[in-house]
Amino acid sequence: MPTTPRNTPRRPLSSVLIALLSLLAAAFLTAPSAVARTEAVPTATLTEVTGFGTNPSNLQMYLYVPDNVTAHPAVVVAVHYCTGSGPAMYNGTEWAQLADTYGFVVIYPSVTRSSKCFDVSSPQALKRGGGSDPVGIKSMIDWTVNAYSADTGRIYATGISSGAMMTNVLLGDYPDVFAAGAAFSGVPFGCFATTDGSEWNSACSGGTITHTPQEWGDLVRAAYPGYTGARPRMQVWHGTEDDVLRYPNFGEEIKQWTNVLGVSQTPAATDSPVSGWTRTRYGATGDRAPVEAISLQGVGHNLYSWGMASRALTFFGLDGSGPAPQPQPGACKVTATTNAWNTGLTASVTLTNTGTTAINGWQLAFTLPAGQTITNGWGATYTPPSGAVTATNATYNATIAPNASVSIGYQANHGGNSAAPGGFSLNGTACTTS
């Protein structure tokens, strides 16, 4: 232990106090404030972060922090598809725009290996702390939590294709880190496992690997032996015509995560929030059910479209309203009319709460006829502009009292079909129309 040299003269007490006060003043002047912590990266722009921690597979980390980042923000890890990248995921999905609205932070991991696919097959990837991609992603999360004092109880994973498979892997490897995940066109944890160094498992991609729910659940539990804590909720999406990761994988994911979360394989609720979609919920009926599964009839592997992230956000509980109220069947009524001209139209939509309790925060889903594209709207935010659209309440009309109505509308282009939209559902429950 170092000691003070004997020949060092002792300073007068007054000078020591002056020096100490000077040091304290300097510390107060130079110490970063709580606000300064939110400037670890520039806001409102995608920024690469280097030196973020243990990173055995040389992943890149990209981070998006909104201007209005909240204190102790939630964190969403958005994982790209094969041949993709963090910047491609940033540009091709609406997670950054949702972060602007709700104040959370988005991490975009990016693969540097030549395939641009995440490792979801090696023994290292399928084990907590195993030394592959999941370890690097966990380091990104740790860096972000430290830099922004993020809420460790609100960390989520989502991904498309290879990223969906990684979402399954992350939730298996790190159940104590994630609160929930949303996987778009993925496969169960462990389905892609290989031992020969190959990144591809044809049996899994072809949908020929099946297990009992218990066997699938055991694969997840083996990633973190002895863990007895809470497990993250899971939302899975799949198209029935997926020719890359065949549709049977959807059912196997449901078997796996219902077993992991200890809920029945019999749906607690089934509905069709959008024409051609079948949504089943397991273990509960609301927006934060333990497992939620959305099957898209006639849709292929590239099922992700603008607006789906908002539905994942609702499942996560990050849309600012918590779990959306679930009106019982018949508890809402919609009237929709259009007024058309050559290639354009205006639409008026009246939404009535026919239930007995107030609705606080709403999303009205509907399907536009083919060829129609919304160009502007009022009374709500409309995403995406065509196809399966979700209208989200404005601040001033978020609450609808029993028997009360709100009127919204939009202007759209059309290619000859100027009919009113159909297939209305309010917060996931079908509405009657008139």
Q: Which residues are catalytic?
A: 161
> CA 222 from chain center: how many Å?
25
Residue 208 and residue 203: Cα distance in Å, rounded?
5
* H or E, element range at 16: helix 13-30
The DSSP 8-state label assigned to residue 38 in this structure reads T
Residue with tokens 């959305």: 294
Enter the tokens of residue 72: 């102790």
Residue with tokens 């397991």: 282
Residue 101 and residue 69: Cα distance in Å, rounded?
9
**Alpha helices, DSSP H only, in 196-273?**
202-205, 213-222, 248-260
Is 144 within 8 Å of 151 (Cβ atoms)?
A: no
Is 210 within 8 Å of 346 (Cβ atoms)?
A: no
SS3 of the chain: helix, strand, coil, percent, to 5: 25, 25, 50
328's CB contacts (< 8 A; 6+ apart) are: 355, 429
CA angle 53, 167, 300 (to 5 degrees): 140
Is 63 within 8 Å of 47 (Cβ atoms)?
A: yes
Enter the tokens of residue 207: 């949908």
Dihedrals phi, psi of 131, to nearest 5 degrees: 100, 25
The DSSP 8-state label assigned to residue 39 in this structure reads T
Enter the tokens of residue 181: 């995940």
Is 38 within 8 Å of 66 (Cβ atoms)?
A: no
Residue 82 and residue 129: Cα distance in Å, rounded?
23
The CB density around residue 238, as the number of other CB atoms within 10 Å, is 28
Residue 128 and residue 175: Cα distance in Å, rounded?
10
| Spatial strand order in the sheet of 429-430 | 380-383, 388-393, 363-367, 422-426, 429-430
